[in-house]
């Protein structure tokens, strides 16, 4: 009980630290924004503390299948860090800040090619505002690249590292609290379908979101008047949420694969037990 509470408090503190990080390192953040960030950090911290201190899961998936949630958390934290720290004037001197901004510019240029999601995001800035276009392009390029790297790491953890751990059987109820294996068709078919759907939606979202934003709002320069803090969060979530969906899709496909392997193993044991003498 004590170890569970300690781990829950530690996780809640890390979540609150990540939520408040962009507002903490940037200078031009209004008092109202800081209050909203503090409220959001406290709320998310309470949710994390309650979820991880509870014996029975309710919201967070793959709670006992490390490092799935650790990787999701690190993905978001890294994305926010690479977007906010280069623009910080409180913790970085100009000698360090300039090379980081130069790296961001190079990444943005490399990711900005025709029909790329980064190109679509950059077009949300007005054509006459080159500075805003470059800022948005670099932020989108960095965020997209970081999330792709973490997706590759998880794919390696699945295929090479054998995620989830085979030391104990995977409890579907604990790790998929919102999934009812007794409803509908065969559980393997449902998991495989949901996994492929998550991957498809995650792949399309970075392309669809900027197009829909431009069509629905119907005017150029959608982000010209947006504060840097809000821009960082918008760009980070634009890259993180699709990546999290792809991550979930890969995990569901892996669970379906494990169930098939378990059924095959049990079937082989039964055939062996009924083999003629």
Residues 100 and 14 in one domain: no
* pLDDT recorded at residue 42: 96
Residues 50 and 182 in one domain: no
Residues 75 and 50 in one domain: no
Number of domains in the chain: 2
Residues 136 and 266 in one domain: yes
Cα dihedral 146, 147, 151, 157, rounded to 10, equals: 60
Residue 60 near residue 52, CB atoms below 8 Å: yes
Residues 46 and 143 in one domain: no
Q: What is the DSSP letter of 165?
A: P
* pLDDT recorded at residue 101: 82
Identify which of 126, 120, 164 has the alpha carbon closest to the alpha carbon of residue 259: 164
Residues 131 and 204 in one domain: yes
What sign does the CA torsion over 112, 100, 82, 217 have? negative
Predicted confidence (pLDDT) per residue in 73-121, tens digit = 999 999 999 999 888 766 666 666 778 788 888 998 999 888 899 999 9
CA distance 1 to 190: 35
Residues 6+ apart with CB under 8 A from 92: 85, 86, 100
Residue 59 near residue 51, CB atoms below 8 Å: yes
Residues 18 and 107 in one domain: no
Residue 84 near residue 227, CB atoms below 8 Å: no
User: Per 3-state DSSP, what percentage of the chain is helix, strand, and coil (rounded to 5)?
Assistant: 75, 0, 25
Residues 130 and 45 in one domain: no
Whether the full predicted model's pTM is greater than 0.85, yes or no, is yes
Residues 35 and 96 in one domain: no
Residue 189 near residue 78, CB atoms below 8 Å: no
CA distance 223 to 69: 31
Q: Which domain holds residue 23?
A: 1-55
Residues 40 and 68 in one domain: no
Angle, alpha carbons 239-29-31 (nearest 5°): 125
Residues 170 and 91 in one domain: yes
Residue 197 near residue 249, CB atoms below 8 Å: yes
Residues 174 and 266 in one domain: yes
List b or e across 101-110, with b for residues whose CB sees 16 or more CB atoms inside 10 angstroms.
Answer: eeebbebbee
pLDDT by residue, tens only, the chain of 277 residues: 678 899 999 999 999 999 999 998 887 788 899 999 999 999 999 999 999 988 877 788 998 888 999 999 999 999 999 999 888 766 666 666 778 788 888 998 999 888 899 999 988 887 767 788 888 999 999 999 999 999 999 999 998 888 987 666 778 878 888 887 777 778 899 999 999 999 999 999 999 999 898 887 766 666 777 888 999 999 999 999 999 999 999 999 999 998 898 888 766 555 454 445 4
User: Taking the chain, what is the end-to-end CA distance rounded to the nearest angstrom?
Assistant: 52
| Radius of gyration of the chain measured on its C-alpha atoms | 22
């Amino acid at each position: 009980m004590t170890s569970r509470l300690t781990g829950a408090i530690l996780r809640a503190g890390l979540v609150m630290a990540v939520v408040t990080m962009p507002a903490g390192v940037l200078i031009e953040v209004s008092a109202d924004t800081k209050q909203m960030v503090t409220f959001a950090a406290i709320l998310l911290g309470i949710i994390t503390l309650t979820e991880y201190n509870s014996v029975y899961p309710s919201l967070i998936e793959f709670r006992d299948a490390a490092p799935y949630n650790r990787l999701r958390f690190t993905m978001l934290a890294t994305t926010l860090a690479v977007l906010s720290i280069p623009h910080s004037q409180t913790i970085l001197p100009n000698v360090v800040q300039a090379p980081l901004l130069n790296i961001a510019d190079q990444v943005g240029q490399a990711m900005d090619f025709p029909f790329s999601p980064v190109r679509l995001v950059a077009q949300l800035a007005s054509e006459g505002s080159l500075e805003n276009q470059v800022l948005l392009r670099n932020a989108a390029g960095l965020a997209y690249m970081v999330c792709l790297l973490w997706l590759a790491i998880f794919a390696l953890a699945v295929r090479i590292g054998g995620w989830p751990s085979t030391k104990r059987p995977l409890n579907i109820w604990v790790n998929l609290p919102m999934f009812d294996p007794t409803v509908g068709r065969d559980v393997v078919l449902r998991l495989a379908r949901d996994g492929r759907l998550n991957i498809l939606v995650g792949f399309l979202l970075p392309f669809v979101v900027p197009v829909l934003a431009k069509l629905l709002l119907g005017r150029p320069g959608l982000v010209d008047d947006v504060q840097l803090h809000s821009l960082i969060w918008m760009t980070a979530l634009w890259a993180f949420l699709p990546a999290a969906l792809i991550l979930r899709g890969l995990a569901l496909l892996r669970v379906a694969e494990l169930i098939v392997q378990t059924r095959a193993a049990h079937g082989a044991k039964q055939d062996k037990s009924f083999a003629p003498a």
